[in-house]
Structures are given as structure tokens and as C-alpha cells.
Amino acid sequence: MSRVLVTGGGGFLGSRLVERLGADGHDVVAARRRDYDLTHEADAERLFADARPELVFHLAAEVGGIGANRANPGRYWYANLVMGANVLEQSRLHGVGKLVIAGTVCAYPKHTPVPFREESLWDGYPEETNAPYGVAKKAVLVGAQAYREQYGLDAVFLLPANLYGPGDNFDLETSHVIPALVRKMLEGGDEVVLWGDGSPTREFLYVDDCVEALCLAAERYDGSDPVNLGSGHEISIRDLANLVAEVIGFAGEIRWDESMPNGQPRRSLDASKARELFGWEARTPLRDGLERTVAWYRSTLLERAPA
């Protein structure tokens, strides 16, 4: 397929995907919010009329770390739900051949057995700090399944682990844990203060591995079941902080602010379905990915920052 629309095409994951699709010779429209606000139905209609896509990747979302989720529960629920609904409806109306939707690991119940398997998705309520975001994305999954059943829309839904890599969001107000650690350790002086007690575990997926998964799913997967995208490597936030410190050469003190929330206790995904269904496996070891992320931050944001 050659005419491809990427919603959220200027975002962290979206811009890497747009680069890859362009290099593969596709005619790509990277939709930006300033041109088309996808929470508005009329903008979504106009976008699909302008782009006339055969293949759509729906990556637009309002996302952030624990702090941003706690500050915006209503907005995150509304924006992610409505954007998903508008994109599904326009994909149906415009006869899109394939729609690939980015879900999130935040959709899983708070106490899911580890590693998370797709069958557990509906076994409970998500961790409270990110539930509105996670539940909105889960509702979009139901929409995708219902549109497949009733209208034959080939929509697939993927559940990526926490992403990281070059181009990530390093704004401390809204960033996820890895860019926050990198920035704090590179700019923070002798001490960095981190939220929680360091005990929760997470799994991290390098952004280009996720791009590869999106492309393979678009090409090879045509099914209603959601599919996990993970690296298979679970690590505690404390060990992660120590690893980032080692990669950066940060010799200061790491202090834990236990008055702040930990978030979900454990997160790790079973990604065997992605291997079986479309032959995808993550390739980038965490340390390599962190080295590339730190190098990118140093060369792109730190060294070019005005004095």
C-alpha cells in the first residue's frame, strides 16, 4: 500500500515511523495537531478527505508519565477515547484497507500475573494513576473489534510496553521515566530525586523495535485479538536508575521520594503472540538503547541548548 496516514506523525514514535515509511518508498502524510485536531470530528473528516489513505497508523494520543496522568485524568480519558472513535469512523467511511492502532500497557489490570498475556486484559481495573488513559484505549480496542465484525474494517490493536529512545519527550512535566532519569542525571548536579521507592518493575521497548513491529503488523496481521509488543526484559526502577547512571557516568546521589506514588507494581509483557502472528521480536538490548538515547540527548538537546 502506498498512501499512508500516520496520526501523531510528529510525535516520538510517529516521527520515527514516518521516517521509516518514507525510506521504504511510501507516500506518507504525517498528521499534526495544529492542522487537524482529532478530538474534533470535522478535523478528522477533513484529514481523511485530504489524505485519502489506504493504510492508517493511529498513534495520536495525549500521554505522559504518572504526574501528567494524575494532573489530567479527565482530559486523557476524553481525548484518547474521542480521537480513537473519530479515526475508526473515518477509516470506515473512507474504506481504509488497514488500520493499525497503538494501545498501551497501561490498559492492563493493576494486578495482572507477570508476564502479562493478552488474555488477562479484561481481568480487572488498571492501576489508578493511569486508569482513565488505559480504559479509554481499551474502549478503542472494543471499537476496533466491533468495526471489524460489523463493517469488515481490518483494524488491528497493539499493546506496546513503555517506549524509549532518541527523540523521546524530555520535558520533565510530561516525560516518562527513562527520559526523566537521563535529563535529571545529565543536568541535575550532585543529587537526583526520583519518585517512589524504586521497587516497581517495568519493561522498556526501544522505539525503532516498535516501529518494526508496527510495519510487520500492517503487512502480516489481520485479526481482532490485541497483541503485546515487549522486549521480554523486566527491570526494577532502582536497577534502571543505576544503569542509566552508569551509562551517563553520573556519580551523584540517587534519593527516593517515597511520598510520591510508585505506579503499577510490576509490568512485563509476554510478546510470544507477536512472534507467532507476524514474526516480530525486539532486537535492541536495554543498555545499547540507553547509550543511543543518551548520545542523542547530549548531541541534540544538551549541546545545542542556548547558554
Residue number with the smallest Cβ distance to ligand NAP: 11
| Number of residues binding to ligand NAP, judged by CB under 6 A | 27
Tell me, yes or no, if 164 is annotated catalytic. Answer: no
Residue 126 bridge partners (DSSP): 109
d(Cα 87, Cα 79) in Å, to the nearest integer?
A: 12
Among 3-11, 145-153, 212-220, 235-243, the segment contacting ligand NAP (CB under 6 A): 3-11
214-218: list long-range contacts, CB under 8 Å, 24+ apart: 214/17, 214/57, 214/100, 214/102, 214/158, 215/17, 215/20, 215/21, 215/24, 216/278, 216/279, 216/280, 217/100, 217/156, 217/158, 217/274, 217/278, 217/280, 218/1, 218/55, 218/57, 218/98, 218/100, 218/156
Task: Check binding of 214 to ligand NAP (CB under 6 A).
Answer: no
Instruction: Give the CA distances from residue 148 to residues 5, 132, 220, in Å, rounded to whole numbers and listed in that order.
Output: 19, 25, 16
36, 76, 133, 297: the active-site residue: 133
Query: Contacting ligand NAP (CB under 6 A), which of 102, 155, 215, 218?
Result: 102
Query: Contacting ligand NAP (CB under 6 A), which of 6, 21, 29, 39?
Result: 39
Closest CA to 232 of 115, 126, 131: 115
Which of 21, 253 has the CB closer to ligand NAP?
Answer: 21
Which of 139, 253 has the CB closer to ligand NAP?
Answer: 139
Task: Check binding of 79 to ligand NAP (CB under 6 A).
Answer: yes
Instruction: Give the CA distances from residue 97 to residues 36, 154, 178, 253, 299, in Å, rounded to whole numbers and listed in that order.
Output: 22, 7, 36, 53, 40
Q: Annotate each residue in 216-255 with x if it binds ligand NAP (CB under 6 A) or - if it does not, as one string.
A: ----------------------------------------
Alpha helix locations (H) across the chain? 12-23, 41-51, 66-71, 73-93, 131-151, 177-187, 207-220, 237-248, 272-278, 286-296
Which of 4, 13 has the CB closer to ligand NAP?
Answer: 13
Task: Check binding of 87 to ligand NAP (CB under 6 A).
Answer: no
Among 37-45, 110-118, 211-219, 245-253, the segment contacting ligand NAP (CB under 6 A): 37-45
Query: Contacting ligand NAP (CB under 6 A), which of 4, 21, 28, 38?
Result: 38
Task: Check binding of 160 to ligand NAP (CB under 6 A).
Answer: yes
Task: Check binding of 8 to ligand NAP (CB under 6 A).
Answer: yes
d(Cα 29, Cα 56) in Å, to the nearest integer?
A: 10
Task: Check binding of 290 to ligand NAP (CB under 6 A).
Answer: no
Task: Check binding of 163 to ligand NAP (CB under 6 A).
Answer: yes
Which of 99, 102 has the CB closer to ligand NAP?
Answer: 102
Residue 157 bridge partners (DSSP): 101
d(Cα 137, Cα 104) in Å, to the nearest integer?
A: 7
Task: Check binding of 286 to ligand NAP (CB under 6 A).
Answer: no
Binding positions for ligand NAP, rule: CB under 6 A:
8, 10-14, 32-33, 36-39, 59-63, 79, 83, 102, 104-105, 160, 162-163, 169, 176
